[in-house]
Amino acid sequence: MHETTLLLIEAGALLLGMSLLGRLAAVIGVSPIPGYLLLGLAFGDGGLIPFDASAEFFQVGSEIGVILLLALLGLEYTADELFGSLKSARTAGIVDALLNAVPGAALALLLGWGPVAAVALAGVTWVSSSGVIAKLLRDLGRLSNRETPAILAILVIEDLAMAFYLPVLSALVIGVSLWQGAVSVAIAVAVVSGILFVALRFGWLVSKLFPADQYEPLLLGVLGLTMLVSGLAAEVNVSAAVGAFLVGIALSGRVAENAGQVLTPLRDLFAAIFFVFFGLTTDASELVSMLLPALALALVTILTKLATGVYAARKAGVGTLGQWRAGFSLAPRGEFSIVIAGLAVGAGVAPQLAPLATAYVLITIIAGTFLARVPDAAWFRDAVRRRRLAKTG
Q: What's the pLDDT score for residue 239?
A: 67
Provide the 10 A C-beta neighbour count for residue 19: 12
Looking at per-residue pLDDT, the higher value among 373 and 176 belongs to 373
Q: What's the pLDDT score for residue 325?
A: 95
Least confident residue range of 150-154, 251-255, 325-329: 251-255
Looking at per-residue pLDDT, the higher value among 200 and 388 belongs to 388
Q: How far apart are CA 335 and CA 148, in angstroms?
A: 21
Residue 52 has pLDDT above 90, yes or no: no
Looking at per-residue pLDDT, the higher value among 177 and 92 belongs to 92
Q: How far apart are CA 357 and CA 340, in angstroms?
A: 9
Residue 300 has pLDDT above 90, yes or no: yes
Eight-class DSSP state of 197: H
Looking at per-residue pLDDT, the higher value among 233 and 45 belongs to 233
Evaluated on CA atoms 98, 297, 239, 78, the torsion sign reads negative
List, in order, residues 6 or more apart from 206 with CB less than 8 Å away: 198, 199, 225, 247, 250, 251
* Helix pair 55-75, 253-280: axis angle to 10 deg: 150
Q: What's the pLDDT score for residue 371?
A: 93
Q: Are 85 and 153 in contact (CB under 8 A)?
A: yes
List, in order, residues 6 or more apart from 47 with CB less than 8 Å away: 41, 284
Q: What's the pLDDT score for residue 330?
A: 95
Residue 347 has pLDDT above 70, yes or no: no
Q: Tell me the average pLDDT of the chain.
A: 83
Please report, to the nearest 10 degrees, the dihedral formed by the alpha carbons of residues 9, 11, 17, 21 taken in order.
-170
Q: How far apart are CA 68 and CA 85, in angstroms?
A: 22
Looking at per-residue pLDDT, the higher value among 3 and 22 belongs to 22
- What pTM was computed for the model? 0.75
Q: How far apart are CA 75 and CA 294, in angstroms?
A: 35
DSSP E strands, the chain: none
Which band of pLDDT confidence, cut at 50, 70 and 90, is reported for residue 47? low
Q: What's the pLDDT score for residue 108?
A: 94
Closest CA to 173 of 293, 334, 353: 353
Q: What's the pLDDT score for residue 365?
A: 87
Taking CA atoms, 307 is separated from 93, 192, 347, in Å, by 12, 28, 34
- Over residues 166-187, the pLDDT tens digits come to 777 777 776 656 666 677 667 7
Closest CA to 55 of 5, 7, 127: 7
Which band of pLDDT confidence, cut at 50, 70 and 90, is reported for residue 196? confident
- Over residues 16-29, the pLDDT tens digits come to 999 998 888 878 76
Taking CA atoms, 190 is separated from 98, 164, 183, 187, in Å, by 25, 11, 11, 5
Closest CA to 36 of 365, 273, 303, 338: 273
Q: What's the pLDDT score for residue 331?
A: 94
Total domain count, the chain:
1
- Over residues 224-279, the pLDDT tens digits come to 999 998 888 877 766 677 788 778 888 878 888 899 889 989 988 888 888 788 77
Least confident residue range of 81-90, 148-157, 220-229: 81-90
Provide the 10 A C-beta neighbour count for residue 36: 27
Looking at per-residue pLDDT, the higher value among 393 and 10 belongs to 10
Residue 107 sits in a domain whose CATH number is 1.20.1530.20
Q: Domain range spanning residue 164?
A: 3-392
What amino acid occupies position 55?
A
- Over residues 348-369, the pLDDT tens digits come to 777 788 788 888 988 998 899 8
Q: What is the mean pLDDT of residues 114-124?
A: 92
Q: Are 123 and 333 in contact (CB under 8 A)?
A: no
| Most confidently modeled range among 59-63, 226-230, 268-272, 339-343 | 226-230
Q: What is the mean pLDDT of residues 309-318?
A: 92
